[in-house]
Amino acid sequence: MNISVVGTGYVGLVTGVALSHIGHTVTCIDIDEMKVEKMRQGISPIFEPGLEELMVENTEAGRLFFTTDHLKGFSKAEVVYIAVGTPEKEDGSANLMYIEQVVKDIAAHVDHDLIVVVKSTVPVGTNHYVKELLDDQVREGVRIDVVSNPEFLREGSSVYDTFNGDRIVIGADHSEAADVIEEINKPFGVPVFKTDIKSAEMIKYASNAFLATKISFINEIANICGKLGADVESVANGMGMDKRIGSMFLNAGIGYGGSCFPKDTKALTQIAANIDHDFELLKSVIKVNNNQQAFMMNQAKERFGELAGKQAAVLGLAFKPNTDDMREAASIVLCEQLLNQGVAVKAYDPVAMDTARKVIPEDVQFVSSPEEALKEADFVFIVTEWQEIQEIPLASYIKWMKTPVLFDGRNCYALKEVRKHSIEYHSIGRQPVL
Ligand code: UGA
């Protein structure tokens, strides 16, 4: 089919590339000219394993196009995917400004019947709002169907997830429109779940809120384990064997970050508040997560007392491995707190240095290897569990650091390995090695 995708962020670009890969003709539209030019040259504006290769392959095959021109982008489209951002407003609710702009662009440029698919995460009721706006604004006689098709991709593995997802959720008022979207997605071979529009919108928020709850829950258990002498990894393994609980998303750490969980949990509490429902559980999940980000800082203060004048290494800056995304990354808060305490900070990330420079305080010194960050450091914060960081031999900390004191926010090392070295090691929900 002929498809247009508006917005080439993580969701839009991956969707566009993947749809072209299964044989559709796809035009990705973005207002950012530099970005579009880059993509035309085969350069992906985001770091996402496997994405650039797939992008180049499908562009060369003549199935994938990039433009800033809405008229051109919409002229032959049978289906338009909306994948623009829904940033957080000050009160935590979702800002629909970009979606409203796409609606205006569609109305201005489309003169044929169309299915509009909303991929962006939007509050319950937004798809119907989009339908109303379109019906008001499109030319006489043009029929627009709106379908909710929320996204469940994880950054860092979004290409893999597209072809191996657990489900594709399609919410529609008319079964014909839902059938078209099902047909488009058929080659992915992923199970399809069809429902009404509002339920589809809610599935997205409820899924992210549930996963965030799982993380805050295990982090609370970790904090208790740490004090009681239990080991959270064993506890999580033992819990996870119960199929009703499942072993995934039970990794204790310094909390969740990224563009989705923090934003979507806040938005859902706001959606609930709008109908006078106090979503107490989710509010606690958010509070636990905020506290958890500062966990290593508290450990360091307890260990050293005074931190001023010390030198720290920060390993890993991205909010999680395999991405250059720095949104809501724990490293931002931690670097700020270290600097406020008078600590000199050297930071390293395998991929996210450029994005990090824009959001990390400038007094942080960026270095180009773990060795440079660790050289002469009094202590290290391990913030992101990149494979490269997990593979740093424990002996290297002894060799490079002034004093090998490790605070590991992602439980990268097995305690039995750490015990073989003269290292002081503090992790999450496990006993310190002193
Ligand atoms: C998340 C969801 O997993 C996707 O299904 C969803 O599509 C996406 O949000 C979205 O709404 O667009 P993502 O934010 O890319 O995906 O990353 P996750 O892999 O889910 O990790 C989120 C955060 O939770 C990371 O900071 C990670 O370090 C943390 N996490 C994850 C833990 O602390 N413990 C865990 O056990 C798992």
Task: Tell me whether 0.90 is exceeded by the ipTM.
Answer: yes
The DSSP 8-state label assigned to residue 369 in this structure reads S
Atom of ligand 1 nearest to the CA of 253: 33
Q: Is 257 annotated as a binding residue?
A: yes
Q: Is 155 annotated as a binding residue?
A: yes
Atom of ligand 1 nearest to the CA of 151: 7
Domain that includes residue 343, residue range: 294-426
Q: Which of 215, 220, 390 to mutate to test the pocket of ligand 1 (most atoms within 8 A of CB)?
A: 215
Is residue 188 domain-shared with residue 56, that is, in the same domain?
yes
Which residue matches tokens 């995460």?
A: 121
- Over residues 217-225, the mean pLDDT reads 98
Work out the number of other CB atoms within 10 angstroms of the CB of residue 44: 20
Give residue 91's pLDDT band: very low, low, confident or very high (50, 70, 90).
confident
- Taking the centre of ligand 1 as the mean of its atom positions, its distance from the CA of residue 219, in whole angstroms, is 15
Percent of the chain with pLDDT over 90: 95
Q: What is the pLDDT of residue 94?
A: 82
Mean residue pLDDT of the chain comes to: 96
pLDDT digits (tens, 9 = 90+) for 247-290: 999 999 999 999 899 999 999 999 999 999 999 999 999 999 99
Domain membership of residue 357 (yes or no) is yes
Is residue 94 domain-shared with residue 220, that is, in the same domain?
no
Give residue 47's pLDDT band: very low, low, confident or very high (50, 70, 90).
confident
The DSSP 8-state label assigned to residue 41 in this structure reads T
- Residue 171's region, left for phi above 0, alpha for psi from -120 to 50, else beta, is beta
Q: What is the pLDDT of residue 89?
A: 87
To the query of whether residue 28 is one of the catalytic residues in this protein, the response is no
Is 329's C-beta closer than 6 angstroms to any atom of ligand 1?
no
Domain membership of residue 54 (yes or no) is yes
Q: Which of 84, 120, 208, 296 to mutate to test the pocket of ligand 1 (most atoms within 8 A of CB)?
A: 208
Is 253's C-beta closer than 6 angstroms to any atom of ligand 1?
yes
Q: What's 67's domain CATH number? A: 3.40.50.720
Per the residue annotation, which of 28, 260, 335, 412 is the catalytic one? 260
pLDDT > 90? residue 320: yes
- Taking the centre of ligand 1 as the mean of its atom positions, its distance from the CA of residue 1, in whole angstroms, is 32
Given 195, 223, 250, the domain boundary residue is 195
Is residue 274 domain-shared with residue 336, that is, in the same domain?
no
Q: Does the CA dihedral 291-295-301-303 come out positive or negative?
A: positive
pLDDT digits (tens, 9 = 90+) for 346-358: 999 999 999 999 9
- Taking the centre of ligand 1 as the mean of its atom positions, its distance from the CA of residue 233, in whole angstroms, is 19
- Cα 251 to its chain centre, rounded Å, is 16
Give residue 185's pLDDT band: very low, low, confident or very high (50, 70, 90).
very high
Ligand 1, atom 34, residue with closest C-alpha: 251
Interhelix angle for 280-293 vs 197-228, to 10°?
50
Domain membership of residue 150 (yes or no) is yes
- Taking the centre of ligand 1 as the mean of its atom positions, its distance from the CA of residue 261, in whole angstroms, is 7
Is residue 264 domain-shared with residue 385, that is, in the same domain?
no
Q: Is 214 annotated as a binding residue?
A: no
User: Going by C-beta distance under 8 Å and a sequence separation of 6 or more, which residues neighbour residue 359?
Assistant: 326, 329, 332
Domain membership of residue 236 (yes or no) is yes
Interhelix angle for 51-60 vs 10-21, to 10°?
50
The DSSP 8-state label assigned to residue 148 in this structure reads E
Is 257's C-beta closer than 6 angstroms to any atom of ligand 1?
yes
Given 168, 195, 222, the domain boundary residue is 195
- Taking the centre of ligand 1 as the mean of its atom positions, its distance from the CA of residue 137, in whole angstroms, is 37
Give residue 199's pLDDT band: very low, low, confident or very high (50, 70, 90).
very high
CA-based nearest residue to 27, from 49, 54, 8: 8
Domain membership of residue 434 (yes or no) is no
Is residue 236 domain-shared with residue 318, that is, in the same domain?
no
Domain membership of residue 433 (yes or no) is no
